[in-house]
Amino acid sequence: MPLGRWPAWSALPVSSNQVLALLALLPLGVVGFVAYVLIRYTPVIGRIFEEKPVFFPLRVDPAPDGEEVAFKTSDGLELVGTYFPCRTAERLGVIVFCHEFLGNRWSALPYADYLRDEGFDLFSFDFRNHGNSDSEDGYEPFQWVCGRETRDLRAALNYLRSRPDRDPAGFGLFGVSRGGGTAICVAADEPDVWAVAADGAFPTRGTMLAYIIRWAEIYVGRWFIWRYMPIAMFAFVGWVGRLRSQWRLKRVFPDIERAASRLSPRPLFMVHGQKDAYINQDIARALFDSARPPKSFWLVPGAKHNRCRELCPEEYRDRITAFFRQAAPRGARSDLRSADLDGRAVEQLAGHA
């Protein structure tokens, strides 16, 4: 047989019927492979999903100048909050602070108390199973945003709408880590939220996919499986693992990326640490990319998870203040610029009606 030529099918030691039979079995082989991967690795994904990181949240002493309040959630729990009035003659707006996992409402003070000097009332509350709020029997909070946290934030907004001094213009939301993801999720469905600032926020789906790919070599072991597996397969396994955890933990994890895509035309400001060991900058950038303008991203060089404020306190204050003043319906309409990875001013928040 001349080189470079393949024999005709009739010259092969198999019949055309055998070839057709092999082709017919190919989909069954694919289905079998997918079933093997799901059965073998979905429990592993679930264990990863249900592990808690070693985490030491910020602890702050209570402040005496706030109004202590209590309000009910839609499922009957009592949450505790503190309302801090602005220190100016006129109120510019109301900012609602959402604390991080294992934190409490007093962490709003170092993150946002200075906003009171700019004309903003500040409201902070304890999520369920945190601080002085009620604990739900059988519910164990995780670092992931779930329906309980979004329910609590909606209850806080409903309480603020019921106050005699309510602001008809609505609210700005400011959240840290899990609180930032919660703020994004709730803002997407609440038209009277006029802006969201999130420090260290992360998506559930995108974070799990990044972790699955990172740990595939360790947990899978068989290089010929993980090295050549398409990203879609990793995503599918992660989705099934998330469903399994939702069933086991009796909760729902909302799609934070989809919520971010629905924020516009409300502006989003994301802050993230360049050396965040929990949520790397690519994960945060992917969440940011899910949102549409107006939006701004500030990557803080050298900062770890939830440590941007500590590393750059003055710039942190200036950027957060400028963002909320520009976004507030009664605020100043000055331009707000942020920096990209190289420190260049690249994104500008458009005026928000």
Lowest mean pLDDT among 83-97, 112-126, 222-236, 289-303: 222-236
Q: What is the pLDDT of residues 38-62, one digit of tens each?
A: 556 666 666 677 777 777 777 888 8
More confident residue, 273 or 13: 273
Q: Model confidence at 349, in pLDDT bands (50, 70, 90)?
A: very low
This prediction's pTM: 0.80
Mean pLDDT of the 204-225 span: 68
Q: What is the pLDDT of residues 13-47, one digit of tens each?
A: 555 655 555 455 455 544 555 555 555 666 666 66
Tell me the domains of the chain and their CATH numbers: 67-203+252-348 (3.40.50.1820)
Mean pLDDT of the 111-115 span: 97
For residue 120, the model assigns a pLDDT of: 98
Mean pLDDT of the 148-154 span: 98
Under 8 Å CB-to-CB from 259, ≥6 apart: which residues?
184, 185, 187, 188, 189
CB atoms within 10 A of CB 226: 20
Lowest mean pLDDT among 60-64, 96-100, 230-234, 306-310: 230-234
Taking the C-alpha atoms of residue 239 and residue 68, their distance in angstroms, rounded to an integer, is 41
Q: Model confidence at 174, in pLDDT bands (50, 70, 90)?
A: very high
pLDDT averaged over every residue in the chain: 83
- pLDDT above 50 (res 353): no
Taking the C-alpha atoms of residue 135 and residue 124, their distance in angstroms, rounded to an integer, is 18
The dihedral sign for the CA sequence 76, 78, 84, 85: positive
Q: What is the enclosing helix (H) or strand (E) of 346?
A: strand 345-348
- pLDDT above 50 (res 350): no
For residue 97, the model assigns a pLDDT of: 98
For residue 159, the model assigns a pLDDT of: 98
- pLDDT above 80 (res 294): yes
* Terminal Cα distance for the chain, rounded: 76
- pLDDT above 80 (res 228): no
Mean pLDDT of the 124-145 span: 95
C-alpha 52, offset from chain centre: 16
Q: What is the pLDDT of residues 238-270, one digit of tens each?
A: 777 777 777 888 889 999 999 999 999 999 999
